[in-house]
Chains A and B, each alone.
Chain A
């Protein structure tokens, strides 16, 4: 490699870094802004302009949000949905992908068709709602898990990975008398760590962030997911609900903005927890099944 850079190249390199830096700041700054607002006193929060680090820190908004039983229940419900949904997705996706990855299964054309099909025709809000109603799943947690349990996309991603596992492994296991079940769970799944981690992370993030299906199907607040409280806060400006039963001297320690911001930060916690793993699997996984060649 040629390390003797011309003047033009140096200028270009600096410009490049500058542009990237500015964009990176605009991607990251909103997070800092919202964390800063959530920690601010009312006077500090209502000040316009850039917020980097609050000059006066107040944890009042967090105290309020974290002492709200509805939000805590929402956190629990979202976690349950995420864990249960992801587990079922993994199991069902592996089961479906395995026979499709085996040679001799007439699947290629059909799968191509299915993935295009589910990408374009997503059933539609209205018939989906009526279906859930007919199945008696309204106000049930299963309504949030079953319809999204297996997607053609995930199946294709895992299938492609399974196909790359050498055929000889399957053959020798068969000769030794292993059943298909054993081969899947003892050979294929243990060898597919990266792709399963990818699918799991996608599914977890998807479940955690979903709110619209919960808005349609869940009417009972004790089963409601966390994102719905965010939605209520932003759409209906429903911070008052949190503020009921708060004495007036306490009420002066937060504003609707700080409450909004604190709620948002609380919902980010699980995403922050999986963040270190995302770098490894998420971006790689994006490409796995989408396009081959």
Chain B
């Protein structure tokens, strides 16, 4: 990837001679004034809540005003709660689906689009990219219609699909499909909705990475008799690996913090028997509905440690210290 380079034309610049000469001295403090808002907002809205949550995680709250120091008790209680582990399992399953199903599809899509014989690449790219622009509330409304048990698009299509198949393969029979997507197949439903929303978004990363793959190298490999598979493995993959790692990291971080989509589609409890309960939903339930803020902060820290660990492993594997 190259940073876009602007090509400034000197003629575009204001004529320095026509300007009033003022502030000519180099002011050492100017950078600090400029960067001040950033630092202040960063301290207030990132660092302070973080420190706050360390203290809170070691407190027991009974209502918003009462707090008692309890050390690591919150962590022990979280880790021994089966509901927490169910939420963890759901979240990890979702993350695994994101990384092992969605990302390969994004890459595949990017490879298809990257072929030289594709016309109007920008048009395709925009179409695949559109779902991410419309927002989670939109996606939730949309999929609440699509996943509807009786008249929803998905079940209707599945049903007519089997009817059509039955014409050729009569032994299949006609299935009267009424998959209760949002009642039982909850996690699958969330994975499908999120797949629809993000597959094109990740594709754009891969597509941009693919465009930086050296064409000379690919041609040289072809001349040397390497087949498409070998060219992909030995030329393309190494070239797009840094971006790939970055996308995996982003996907993992995003998946582990999954909250809004299941919250909107299933309600705060994560659907029947918490089938779609995620870690952040568990945190929200305990913090805001049950009012146990310390407990919720402990959940937040456990999650943060997992994310940080993954980021460190990724950084170590990527072997670079520069973003």
A interface residues, Cβ below 8 angstroms from B: 1, 13, 16, 19-20, 23-24, 26-28, 30-31, 33-34, 37, 46-50, 92, 95-96, 98-100, 102, 105, 108-109, 111-112, 114-131, 135, 146-147, 149-150, 152, 155-156, 160-161, 163-166, 169, 172-174, 176-182, 184, 186-187, 190-192, 194-195, 205, 208-212, 216, 227, 230-231, 233-235, 257, 260-261, 263-264, 267-268, 271, 275, 278-279, 282-284, 286-288, 290-293
Contacts and interface: CB of A to CB of B under 8 A. Distances in A.
B150 interface: yes
Which of B12, B125, B146, B264 has the most chain A CB within a 10 Å cutoff?
B264
Interface in B1-38: 1, 3-6, 8, 12-14, 16-17, 19, 21-24, 26-27, 30-32, 34-35, 37-38
Most buried by B among A19, A126, A194, A291: A126
B53 A127 contact: yes
B165 interface: no
Interface stretch (B89-97, B126-134, B183-191): B126-134
Contact of A114 (B42, B56, B122, B293): B42
B323 A115 contact: yes
Contact of A182 (B23, B44, B323): B23
A161 B2 CA distance: 11
A192 B142 contact: no
Contacts of B14: 186-187
Given A24-B127, A176-B17, 11 more contacts: A26-B196, A34-B141, A119-B253, A126-B297, A127-B52, A152-B42, A176-B21, A180-B30, A235-B263, A260-B145, A284-B4
Contacts of A46: 151
A121 B113 contact: no
Nearest to A286: B204
A249 B41 CA distance: 54
Interface residues of B, number: 105
Contacts of B112: 16, 19-20
A282 B56 contact: no
B264 A231 contact: yes
26 contacts: A16-B118, A20-B113, A49-B160, A109-B321, A116-B311, A119-B311, A122-B257, A123-B46, A123-B53, A126-B297, A130-B293, A135-B44, A164-B4, A164-B6, A176-B19, A179-B22, A205-B135, A230-B138, A260-B141, A267-B137, A278-B133, A279-B125, A283-B129, A288-B3, A291-B1, A292-B1
A187 B13 contact: yes
B78 interface: no
B141 A125 contact: no
B274 interface: no
Given A100-B35, A181-B23, A126 B56 contact: yes
Contacts of B42: 114, 150, 152
B34 A96 contact: yes
Contacts of A13: 117
Nearest to B310: A120
B1 A279 contact: no
A30 B135 CA distance: 14
Give the top 8 A-B pairs by smallest Cβ distance, nearest first.
A209-B135, A179-B23, A176-B16, A99-B31, A96-B38, A127-B49, A123-B49, A177-B24
Contact of B141 (A105, A114, A264): A264
B34 A161 contact: no
B46 A121 contact: yes
A164 B34 contact: no
Interface of B: 1, 3-6, 8, 12-14, 16-17, 19, 21-24, 26-27, 30-32, 34-35, 37-38, 41-42, 44-46, 48-50, 52-53, 56, 109, 112-113, 115-118, 122, 124-131, 133-138, 140-142, 144-146, 150-153, 156-157, 160, 196, 200-201, 204-205, 208, 242-243, 246, 253, 257, 259-260, 263-265, 267, 280, 283-284, 287-288, 293, 296-297, 300, 304, 307-308, 311, 315, 321-323
Contacts of A126: 53, 56, 283, 287-288, 293, 296-297, 300
A290 B12 CA distance: 30
B13 A34 contact: no
Given A27-B128, A125-B284, A127-B52, A34 B145 contact: yes
Contacts of A149: 37, 41
B156 A48 contact: yes
Nearest to B13: A187
Contact of B311 (A120, A190, A291): A120
B308 A121 contact: yes
Given A108-B322, A176-B16, A180-B30, A120 B45 contact: no
A22 to B, nearest CB: 11
A242 to B, nearest CB: 14
A179 B30 CA distance: 9
A271 B38 contact: no
Contacts of B118: 16, 20
Nearest to B14: A186
